[in-house]
Structure 1
Amino acid sequence: MTYHFTVSDRFLKYVTIDTQSDPQSDTVPSTARQKDLSKILVEELLAMGVKDAALDDFGYVYASIPSNTDKKVPVICFCSHVDTSSDCSGKGVKPIVHYDYDCRDIVLPDDPAQVIRPGDHPYLKTKRGEDIITASGTTLLGADDKAGVAIIMDLAHYLTTHPDVKHGTIKILFTPDEEIGRGVDHVDLERLGADFGYTLDGGERGSYTDETFSANGVTIHFYGNSIHPGYAKDKLINAIKIAGTFLELLPKDGFSPETTEDREGFVHPVHMEGGAEKASLSFIIRDFETSKLKLHEARLEQFAKQATGRYPGSRYEFESREQYRNMKEVVDQHPEIGEYVKIAMERSGVTFKKSSARGGTDGSRLSFMGIPFPDIFTGEMAFHGKHEYVSIQDMQKSVETLVHLVQVWEEKTDS
């Protein structure tokens, strides 16, 4: 495809805007700064001629590129999230482009102790000669998911400047708060008006993800008895110590993200707070098989019973909530979604690789809200940390794949 891609320039701009979400916030979106990027995206879309581009009060960007064919093509949505993870700072990101990468270690200049080594990142070994973007060593990069945002924006630019490319109606959706599991809490499905969709939030070139974890969230509250420590003998029951005992009971050789891989599920503590009277722990529960979530929770609650059993007079409360489910249960009912992606990748010179995500996307929940929504690669790698990187060529190939994909949907639709 002969085209002057704009994806890298857009990406380098977008990552400098701090859009971290906050899991402890009750506002919508969880941080107002996410709208700083969303406003820019609306302005850029309007400048392209996408007339209905708009930002709503909840932080969602909606836009439409009208159909230019007489066929009744299903309405396709492309979605990415503007927020970045709270696991690592996203303030003051300074992106660096490593041109014509030679597969040597990448020392990040603002903290030379941060070294991205190909030995630790097998995919990076395949990127010789490509142009790699990293952060400078003190922040994450934000390729998750600003690579996806930039790819969709470049797709919009291509379609608005190449009216000869036939396609049905294309919907664009940019969401806030995906990283904290609230990405589609307030999405307006009627306004979106899509039949099928694809998130742009995947990793390696060629990856097509039609399966994610199923996920629950769990909070355990431990209750003790607080009293002045000077007069506490045989009276004080310290909830912090109960929580500590509970954590010590968790297995060291399994049951956790650091000891599992492939299709193994896990239980992961993500937040702790409290004092002597009450201490609370928050967990995420993950597995590809939805039925196993309750088994993981039962095991976790057994540890809570054991911990409080060691402190007579203490008690606990166990709260579970659904977060998202494995999209495969829905996507498999519409095999053409993946078949068309495969054709588009082949036309782009990309090897199609079906994969499973040890995580979730907005598409996980959107699939169960009535819009089948698998995921397509962006090139984002080592996300949520200072070693995050992305290949410019991967992002360009993703744009090219989307251009072919909208054409495949048009071609495969009967008149």
Structure 2
Amino acid sequence: MTDTVTSRFLRYVVLDTQSDASSPTQPSTAKQLDLGRMLVSELQAIGVNDAELDKYGYVYATIPSNTGKNNVPVVCFCAHMDTAPDFSGTGVRPQVIRNYQGGDITLPGDASRIIKMAEHPELKNQIGNDVITSDGTTLLGADDKAGLAEIMTAAEFLLNNPDIKHGTIRILFTPDEEIARGVAKVDLQKLGADFGYTLDGETAGTIEDETFSADSADITIRGVAIHPGFAYGKMENAIRIAGNIIAKLPKDMTPETTKGRDGFIHPTSVSGAMEGAKISLILRDFRTEGLKEKAKLLETIIAEVMADYPGSSHTLKITEQYRNMKEVLDHHPDIVENAIEAIRRAGMSPVRGSIRGGTDGARLSFMGLPCPNIFAGGHAFHSPIEWVSSQDMERAVKTIVELAKLWEERA
């Protein structure tokens, strides 16, 4: 290989590619195209002649089959180019802690930010490895630039080693995954894959075939505005109404009080003035029926609050975001089983997991492209204490290669 997974990763993370949920365009930010162009150029340089970036920000590319078998399925490997808008992605300055020997990691750009071993037990498995972090003033971008680097490195390895037999492999890099638009305009006919794998997971060795089901909720409140000096018995302050609704949300149904298979109702933004306000929320549950129950609970809370404000009105809009991909993947067990075997062949003990979140694979699965999620190695996503190790990224590269071999062997 002329480039390592680490050198690629370090090159990608310094590009600011944050997506923007308030933008109506696709991609939501033009800066994502900068990385898309870089990836296309690198793919072409390693011999992927058909690599292209389309107007929506998708990168498509093909590694041609090199086997005589004509029944090997077309496999897609997918990762997303954007980083989350939750924390700054501008001016990322990565540091590599070579031969990490344990202990807490104080980040050099902000000494108040410390990656603590007590809070990150996976660090215990990184002794002797090279751990990569940001300087603490930005997120790192391992979500999902680790996945990009791993797919790129595996692609070059396969092209440089024609003795490794594999079927046709399609590469898909997407924009706007972090704002739930990652596959909104993907062309599955053009992609031409039978199924796929996203490289967007966390701990090395993990294969995830289940996600939350997800809806968003938007509450718009119209209050009664009047001069506060003459407000007695007349004013109905939309800001106060919004606050009362938020205050009534169950405290045991928040992201910070739930874990495992518990779902939640989570307000993500609130804005407004006396005459009008808006609350945006996300609803999450592993069961679609659980989502409906949470929407019904939200309706009940709103009705209870609005009863005290007879002059005011509201609207509630529930929008489907994605559904639990397990509903699809259970009908294609070999896709997950081959990933488990590839992880084993790459030298790890496979762990089957569920995601308290979503991936492009969740929506792709329901669009007709079954697509579980494989680890990319990153930790503490969307935060300034995000980290990844070079060795775990290398394990992901090996897993991709083993998967390509497995599908050819078993065809």
Is the pair's TM-score, using the shorter chain for normalization, greater than 0.5? yes
1:171 aligns with 2:183: no
Kept after mapping to 2: 8 A contact 1:73/1:409? yes
1:46 aligns with 2:31: no
Question: Which shows bigger deviation, 18-27 or 333-342?
Answer: 333-342
For normalisation by structure 2, the TM-score amounts to: 0.98
- The match for 2:56 is 58
- The match for 2:358 is 360
How does 1:213-228 map onto structure 2 within 5 Å?
A: 213-228=212-227
Q: Distance in 2 between matches of 1:236 and 1:27?
A: 39
Deviations 1:318-366 (A, max 9, x none): 1001100001111111111112112212211111110000000000000
SS in 2 for 1:211: strand
AA aligned opposite 1:392:
S
AA aligned opposite 2:199:
L
- The match for 1:129 is 128
AA aligned opposite 1:316:
H
Task: Give the count of matched residue pairs.
Answer: 410
Deviations 1:255-312 (A, max 9, x none): 1100000000111111112211111111111111111101011111111112212223
SS in 1 for 2:108: coil
For normalisation by structure 1, the TM-score amounts to: 0.97
Deviations 1:367-395 (A, max 9, x none): 00001100101111000001100011000
- The match for 1:25 is 23
Question: Which shows bigger deviation, 234-243 or 178-187?
Answer: 234-243
SS in 2 for 1:243: helix
- The match for 2:66 is 68
- The structural deviation recorded for 1:23 is 0.9
1:392 aligns with 2:395: no
- The structural deviation recorded for 1:5 is 6.4
1:403 aligns with 2:410: no
1:141 aligns with 2:163: no
How does 1:237-256 map onto structure 2 within 5 Å?
A: 237-252=236-251, 254-256=252-254
AA aligned opposite 2:310:
P
Cα 1:4/1:377, change in 2 over 3 Å: farther
Question: Which shows bigger deviation, 274-283 or 206-215?
Answer: 274-283
- The match for 2:299 is 301
Q: Distance in 1 between matches of 2:137 and 2:196?
A: 35
AA aligned opposite 2:311:
G
Kept after mapping to 2: 8 A contact 1:225/1:236? yes
Q: Distance in 2 between matches of 1:26 and 1:203?
A: 30
- The structural deviation recorded for 1:227 is 2.5
- The structural deviation recorded for 1:4 is 7.3
Q: Distance in 2 between matches of 1:113 and 1:181?
A: 32
AA aligned opposite 2:72:
V
Q: Distance in 2 between matches of 1:4 and 1:42?
A: 17
- The structural deviation recorded for 1:186 is 0.4
Kept after mapping to 2: 8 A contact 1:22/1:31? yes
SS in 1 for 2:186: coil
Kept after mapping to 2: 8 A contact 1:222/1:279? yes
Deviations 1:126-182 (A, max 9, x none): 211111000001000000000001000101111111111110000000000000000
- The structural deviation recorded for 1:70 is 1.6
Q: Distance in 1 between matches of 2:410 and 2:402?
A: 12
Question: Which shows bigger deviation, 84-93 or 3-12?
Answer: 3-12
Structure 1 residues without counterparts, runs of 5 or longer = none
SS in 2 for 1:200: strand
1:381 aligns with 2:379: yes
AA aligned opposite 1:350:
M
SS in 2 for 1:400: helix
SS in 2 for 1:321: strand
Q: Distance in 2 between matches of 1:53 and 1:5?
A: 18
Q: Distance in 2 between matches of 1:272 and 1:181?
A: 19
AA aligned opposite 1:90:
G
How does 1:75-154 map onto structure 2 within 5 Å?
A: 75-154=74-153
SS in 1 for 2:56: coil
Kept after mapping to 2: 8 A contact 1:97/1:131? yes
- The match for 1:184 is 183
Deviations 1:163-209 (A, max 9, x none): 11110000000000000000000000111000010000000010000
How does 1:219-298 map onto structure 2 within 5 Å?
A: 219-252=218-251, 254-298=252-296
Question: Which shows bigger deviation, 267-276 or 404-413?
Answer: 267-276
Q: How well do the aligned residues superpose, as a CA RMSD in angstroms? A: 1.1
